[in-house]
Amino acid sequence: ASYINFNAGTLGPVMVEGRISSSAIVGAGSDVGGGASILGVLSGTDGNPISIGENTLLGANSTCGIPLGDACIIDGGVAIFAGTKVKVNPDELAKIKAANPEVNLESKTTFRADAFQGLNGLHFRQDSTTGEIVLKRSTREVKLNADLH
């Protein structure tokens, strides 16, 4: 079952199978997978309103605690909070910077997830051998099935 709390909602057709907490807004064409949670201002974001861009995918049972731009992906089961440590290899960091030229990111390999809040084209994954959260430049276009939405 899906759940959309008070003062929350979507900005167009969105697949919602998870939870959108208070004050969270989800952009058109996005998919909030089964059991996925978008935290609200009352549920652990220190009052930071969460917005999810267009054509973004939150995989099943994932948790999003930072604002995301367009065309982002959080893989199923992955939890991203402001303080989550994220590994980014230098080649992927260069791709993320190219997709978000207005942002000035340090050249390093470990960041807090909130360093990337609001950016476009991010893909958060978990390395199955180390357990580390890894960030890559997303190149996959998320599209809802027009016949169903």
Known catalytic residues are 17
Q: What 3-state class would DSSP assign to 51?
A: strand
Q: How many residues does the chain have?
A: 149
Which of 79, 92, 91, 71 minimizes the C-alpha distance to 18? 79
Spatial distance between the Cα atoms of 149 and 92, rounded to a whole number of angstroms: 33
User: Cα separation of 40 and 145, whole Å?
Assistant: 27
